[in-house]
Structure 1
Amino acid sequence: MITCSTLLIQLLEKYGVDTIFGIPGVHTIEFYRDLPETNIRHITPRHEQGAGFMADGYARATGKPGVCLLITGPGVTNATTALAEAYSDSVPLLCISSVNQINELGMGGGRLHELPSQRNLTSACTVFSHTVLDPGEIPHVLARAFAVFSSGRPGPVHIEIPINLLTAELEFIPKEVQTVTRPGPDPQRIEKAAQLLASASKPIIILGGGAVDAGVEATQLVETLNCPVLTTIAGKGTVDESHPLSLGATLPFRDVQALIENANVVLAVGTEFAETDLLYTGRTPKFNGQLIRIDIEAEQLVRNFAPAVPILSDARMALRAINLELARDENQSVLPAKTEQPIEDIASATANLEWHPLAAQHQLVLDIIHRELPNETVIVCDSCQLAYTGCHYFPSQFSRHWMFPLGYGTLGYGLPAALGAKLAKPEAAVVCLAGDGGYLFTVQELATAVDEGIAVIVIVWNNEGYGEIRDAMVATGIPTIGVNLKTPDFVRMAESFGCHGCAPDNLEDLAAEIGAALKRDLPTVIEIHENAPYLLNAGQPHE
C-alpha cells in the first residue's frame, strides 16, 4: 500500500522531475514526508508568485516542465499570474496544490484557505485544471499532464488534491511511465511547401517560439534557400543571430517588413504573429506572397493570417522533412542560383531601424554585457525599457538563452525566472535585466538566491518609476499620475540580503563589475541609473 502523496512524488521523479518550487503549508506537509527519499530538490521562494516564475524560468531554459507545489487558496492565487504568463507564452508548467476536503468543496463553510472553486479560478489560465477525487486518478492525470507537455502546444496544468486524500492509501504496482511524442507532418503538405520554396525567387523565413528546438534544421533550410531569416522575440537565437542570413528579432521594423511584403513565399514556423511581437513600433506586416505555416496547434494555423499551405506538425520534424524534400533532384534543379543579394537586402533592411530615443543608452549597456559575458549567457528579462531594446538588438546565438515575459507582459518576472534558469543551467552565466518598478515586485527572492547559493547577475535599470507608461502619458498629453516612484537604495538593499551590490560611475567600472560578478558565488546586483552622466552622451542609436 502507498499513500496518495507518496505516489505523486514517486511518479514525478519517474517523469524526470528533479526540482520543485514551493512554500510548505499545513495543507501540503504530507507531500514532504517522502521527498528526502527521492533525488528531487526543493527550492523555497519567499512568495508563491516567485515559485511560479522560478518554475517558468526552469522550463524555458530546459524545455522540461517546471513544477511548483502550492497550498490551498492563497498559495494558488498568489501563483495565478505566473500560470497566466506560462499560458500566454506556451511554457510547460505543472502546478500541484492541495484543496479543501472533498465534503467541504463548494460548501462555503469558512474553512481555512477556502475558495468557492479553486479549480474554476485556475482553469481560466491553464490547459486544464483537475480535482483528484480518488487516489487512483493520480497516475492518469499525471500522464495527461505530461502528454500536454510533450506532444502538443505546451502550457500550464493545475492538479489539486483534497487534503483528506493525501494520506489515503491505495494499491499501486510501479510501472515505467510513458510520454507521448509530437505528430509529424502530412507528406503531401511537405511536398507542396518544398515546391513553393524551391521555386521562390524571394523566400523569407520567420521563426517563433515553437521553433526553438529546431535550430539545426532551420539553419540548414536557410542555407539551402539562401534566404533571410528572422525571429519573433520568443524565437530569438533559433538561428544564430550572427549568421550572415539572419535579420535577428526585427519583425516590428519598417524596412524588415518591406522584405516580408516583397517576398513571394513566406515560411512561418511556430508563431502566432501576436500583437506583443510588434509593440516596439506598432507596425503589422503584410503578406503579399504565398504563406506557409507550420504549427503544433491546429487552431493556431488559421489565426491572424490564413496560410496557403498549413502544416500541422512538430517544427523540427516538419523542417527536417522539407530539407529532405528539397534535396530531391527535381527540387534541386529549380532552386535559384545563390547570390549575395539576400545579404545585401539584409544590410539595407537593418541600416535604419526605428529605435526609440533612449535606445542609444540601452545599447551601450547591452554591448558591454555582450562583450564581457560568454556567448552562452542566459538573459532573463523583466518588462523594462532596457529589455525592450534588447529584445530586438542583443545578438543571441542560441535558443532558450533570451527569456522575456512577452505574452502576458507581467512585471516581477525577471528575478525569480532567472533563479529558475540558473538552477536549470548551473554552468551558465545568467543575467536578469529588470527595471526599478518591476524589480520591486519580487525583490524578496534575493533571499532565496542567497540561501541556495544561486549566483545570478541582476542589472537594475533605474528610471525612478514606470518609465514606459510615463513616456506614453507624456506622448499623449496625459498627466503623469502614479508613474513617478520613490526608489530605495538598491545597493544597500542588495547588501542587506547578503548579495554584492554596486552602482558603477562609468562604463569601464560597469564592465569590470560584470566581469567580477562571474567569479562570485553569490548574487550581484548592479544598479544603472537612466540619467547617469556616462550614459547621457550616448549619441544616436546604432544598428
Structure 2
Amino acid sequence: MTCAELLVRLLRDIYGVNTLFGIPGVHTIELYRGLEDSGLRHLTPRHEQGAGFMADGYARTTGQPGVCFIITGPGMTNIATAMGQALADSIPMLVISSVSRLDTLGMGQGRLHELPSQQQLMSGVARFSHTLLDANTLPDVLARAFALFHGARPGPVHIEIPIDLLAAQVTEPTQQTRPMLYRPAPDPEGLAMAAAWLRTAKKPLILLGGGCVSAPEAALNLVERLDAPTVTTINAKGLLGRDHPLDLGANAALPAVRALAQEADVILAVGTELGETDYDVVFDDGFHLNGKLIRIDIDPEQLARNQPLALGLVADAGRSLELLLEHFPEHVERGGVDRTRSTLSALALHEDPALSPFVPLFDTLREIMPDAILVGDSTATVYAANHLVSQPAPRRYFNASTGYGTLGYGLPAALGAALATPGLPVVALVGDGGIMFTLSELATAVEERLPVVILLWHNHGYEEIRRYMDNNGVSRVGVDILPPDFQKLASGFGCQASRVTSPTELAQALADRPSDGPLLLEVDAAAWQQAITRQH
C-alpha cells in the first residue's frame, strides 16, 4: 500500500469522509491513484480558491471537515484566502497538499511550484501546518488533525506530503478504529457560580455565537428559562428557530441593542468572539458591556479578548449549554419578551431606509423557499440579510461578511452546501463585483447539476466602497467598473439565467426554478428600487 492509498483509506474508513474537492496536478496524481474505486466523491472546481470555499460551505452545513487535495505552490497560495476565511470563522477544513521531494525541500533550486517554505506560509492561515517526513507517521498526523476538529477550536489544518512520499510503500496501521473523543466540559464550581449570577440577575442578556450551533435545543431551552433577550450572531442564526420572541438577531451594532447591552447586569456570552463584524459592524467601538460578563469558549485565549471578563469557563459551548440548563429546571420570569419586543420596535428594521428595499426580496424568498439555506458573499443583500433574515434552524445562514470578509465566497460555498444537503434548497447571495472572483464555478454547478439559485444583486460596481469614499470625501477611483453581460456568461456555461426587476418577477422565477441545475437571477438594483417605490 502506498502513502496516498493509505490516506484515502483512512479518510474514508476511519474518519467518515465521503467528499473531496480538488484540482489534479502533476504533483498530486498519486493521490488520485488512491481514489480509484474508493467510493469517494471527487469534485473538480475551476480554481483552488473555489475548492476551499466549497469545502467551507460543506463544513458549515454538516459540521464535518471539508477536505481538499491541492497541488504544491500556486495551488496553495490560491487556497490560502479560503483558509483565511475558515480560520477566522472556526470552520474545520483539511487541506492535503503535495510539496517538493524530501531531498529538495528548502534548497531553492527553482523546482516546479517551489516555494522557499510552503509549510511556513500556510501556517499563518491554519491551526497547524505539518510536513510529513516519514510516510508511516501519516495515521498519527491525521489523528492529530481530527482531534483538533472535534476536541478544540476548529479551523483549517494543512498537511503537506513530499511527492516522493506519496508513492512510498507504507505499513498498514494496526489501529483501524477511530477513538471516541469528548469535548471539554466546564468546571462545575465555575458553572455553579455562573448559574448563581444568572439566577439573581434583574436584566440578563445572552450572546450566542457560531460555537453553539451543535446544541440548538439546549440553547433554546436555556434562553427561555432565563427569560433573557438574546443576540444570535450571523453564524448563530436559527439557533432559537424562526422569529423567536427573545431573539434580537444579529443586531448588536445597532443603537437600541447597544443600549440594552449597556443596561444588562449579567451577560452570558457563549461560543462567540465578541468580534467587530458581529458587534461593531459600524466600526466605532461602541459596543460596551457594563454588567458582569460570563464567557464560555473552548479557546482560553478568546476569553481575554474584546470585552472585560468577570468569569470565564474554558469548555465546549454546546456541552456547557446543556449542563447550565440543569441549573434552571424552571422558568425565571424577568420580562425578557417585553424587553426584546421593545428593543426590536425601537430598531424598526423594516422602516430603515438602508434596509427597506430588501424587505420584499427576503419576504419573497421566505414565501417561495422557506427552508432554503442562504449563503452569502460580501454584498448589499447580505448586509441587509444579516439584520432582516430569521431562519428556522442553525447552519442555514452563513456568509463572508464576518471575520476575514473575503469576496468570491458566496457561489462556491453555496455549491458546497448544496452537495452536503441535497434535500434542502440553497440560495447564493452575490453581487456583480464579488461574483467575478469565482464566476468560473458556474461550470462546476452545471457539471454537477446542483440546483442552486444564484441571486445576483447588480449595482454596477463596488457600491459599499463607493459609499465609503463618498462619506470620507475621497474621489471615486476603481469602483465604477465595467460589468459583463451576466446573461450571456451564464448561457455560455450552460446555466439558466434571467433578469428580475420586482418581487412579483422574483417570485415567479423562483417558483419556476430548475430542479437539475443552477439558476442565475440577475436583479438590477436601480430597477428594483424603482419597482418598490412604485408599490408604495
TM-score, with structure 2 as normaliser: 0.96
> Paired residue for 1:60?
60
Letter in 2 for 1:84: G
> Paired residue for 2:194?
193
Could you tell me how far 1:33 is from its partner in structure 2? 1.1
Tell me, in whole angstroms, the C-alpha distance in 1 between the residues paired with 2:203 and 2:532: 37
> Paired residue for 1:446?
442
Q: Which one of 291, 313, 322 corresponds to residue 311 of structure 1?
A: 313
> Paired residue for 2:109?
109
Could you tell me how far 1:15 is from its partner in structure 2? 0.4
Matched, 1:228 2:229: yes
Could you tell me how far 1:282 is from its partner in structure 2? 3.2
Matched, 1:379 2:339: no
Secondary structure of 1:16's aligned partner: coil
Matched, 1:482 2:507: no
Tell me, in whole angstroms, the C-alpha distance in 1 between the residues paired with 2:279 and 2:203: 23
Matched, 1:417 2:426: no
- The answer as to whether partners of 1:143 and 1:179 remain within 8 angstroms in 2 is no
> Paired residue for 1:299?
301
Letter in 1 for 2:314: L
> Paired residue for 1:5?
4
1:264-310 residue CA offsets vs partner (Å, 9 max, x unmatched): 11100011111111354335322121111110111111111132221
Tell me, in whole angstroms, the C-alpha distance in 2 between the residues paired with 1:491 and 1:370: 25
> Paired residue for 2:71?
71
Tell me, in whole angstroms, the C-alpha distance in 2 between the residues paired with 1:488 and 1:482: 16
- The answer as to whether partners of 1:146 and 1:179 remain within 8 angstroms in 2 is no
Letter in 1 for 2:62: T
Q: Which one of 341, 345, 368 corresponds to residue 351 of structure 1?
A: 345
Paired residues for 1:311-350 under 5 Å: 311-327=313-329, 336=332, 338=333, 341-350=335-344
Secondary structure of 1:243's aligned partner: coil
> Paired residue for 2:157?
157
Secondary structure of 2:235's aligned partner: coil
- The answer as to whether partners of 2:243 and 2:390 remain within 8 angstroms in 1 is yes
Matched, 1:396 2:391: yes
Paired residues for 1:135-150 under 5 Å: 135-150=135-150
- The answer as to whether partners of 1:463 and 1:529 remain within 8 angstroms in 2 is yes
Count, aligned residues: 529
Worse overlay, 165-174 or 440-449: 165-174
Tell me, in whole angstroms, the C-alpha distance in 2 between the residues paired with 1:165 and 1:136: 10
Could you tell me how far 1:40 is from its partner in structure 2? 1.1
Matched, 1:524 2:519: yes
Q: Structure 1: any 5+ residue segments left out of the alignment?
A: none
Tell me, in whole angstroms, the C-alpha distance in 1 between the residues paired with 2:522 and 2:281: 24
Identity of aligned residues (%): 47
- The answer as to whether partners of 2:375 and 2:427 remain within 8 angstroms in 1 is yes
> Paired residue for 1:362?
358
Secondary structure of 2:221's aligned partner: helix
1:500-534 residue CA offsets vs partner (Å, 9 max, x unmatched): 100024321111101222x42110000001101x4
Could you tell me how far 1:388 is from its partner in structure 2? 0.5
- The answer as to whether partners of 1:183 and 1:313 remain within 8 angstroms in 2 is yes
Letter in 2 for 1:312: V
Letter in 2 for 1:150: H
- The answer as to whether partners of 1:30 and 1:166 remain within 8 angstroms in 2 is yes
Tell me, in whole angstroms, the C-alpha distance in 2 between the residues paired with 1:470 and 1:179: 52
> Paired residue for 1:282?
283
- The answer as to whether partners of 2:501 and 2:531 remain within 8 angstroms in 1 is no
Tell me, in whole angstroms, the C-alpha distance in 2 between the residues paired with 1:404 and 1:117: 31
1:132–1:66: structure 2 CA closer, same or farther, 3 Å change rule?
same
Tell me, in whole angstroms, the C-alpha distance in 2 between the residues paired with 1:469 and 1:278: 21
Secondary structure of 2:160's aligned partner: strand
Letter in 1 for 2:167: T
- The answer as to whether partners of 1:69 and 1:95 remain within 8 angstroms in 2 is yes
Paired residues for 1:121-140 under 5 Å: 121-140=121-140
Secondary structure of 2:512's aligned partner: helix
Could you tell me how far 1:140 is from its partner in structure 2? 0.6
Could you tell me how far 1:9 is from its partner in structure 2? 0.7
Paired residues for 1:252-267 under 5 Å: 252-267=253-268
Could you tell me how far 1:179 is from its partner in structure 2? 5.0
1:210–1:87: structure 2 CA closer, same or farther, 3 Å change rule?
same
Matched, 1:469 2:471: no
Could you tell me how far 1:354 is from its partner in structure 2? 7.6
Letter in 2 for 1:5: A
Could you tell me how far 1:245 is from its partner in structure 2? 1.4
Letter in 2 for 1:36: E
Tell me, in whole angstroms, the C-alpha distance in 1 between the residues paired with 2:520 and 2:179: 43
TM-score, with structure 1 as normaliser: 0.95
Tell me, in whole angstroms, the C-alpha distance in 1 between the residues paired with 2:226 and 2:446: 49
> Paired residue for 1:457?
453
- The answer as to whether partners of 2:22 and 2:69 remain within 8 angstroms in 1 is yes
- The answer as to whether partners of 1:281 and 1:354 remain within 8 angstroms in 2 is no
Could you tell me how far 1:37 is from its partner in structure 2? 2.3
Matched, 1:507 2:516: no
Letter in 2 for 1:344: D
- The answer as to whether partners of 1:280 and 1:388 remain within 8 angstroms in 2 is no
Letter in 1 for 2:526: N
1:427-463 residue CA offsets vs partner (Å, 9 max, x unmatched): 1100000010000110100000111111100000011
Secondary structure of 1:531's aligned partner: helix
- The answer as to whether partners of 2:358 and 2:384 remain within 8 angstroms in 1 is yes
Secondary structure of 2:433's aligned partner: helix
Could you tell me how far 1:369 is from its partner in structure 2? 1.0
Could you tell me how far 1:168 is from its partner in structure 2? 0.7
Q: Structure 2: any 5+ residue segments left out of the alignment?
A: none
Tell me, in whole angstroms, the C-alpha distance in 1 between the residues paired with 2:448 and 2:353: 40
Tell me, in whole angstroms, the C-alpha distance in 2 between the residues paired with 1:366 and 1:52: 28
Could you tell me how far 1:4 is from its partner in structure 2? 0.6
Worse overlay, 426-435 or 33-42: 33-42
1:63–1:139: structure 2 CA closer, same or farther, 3 Å change rule?
same
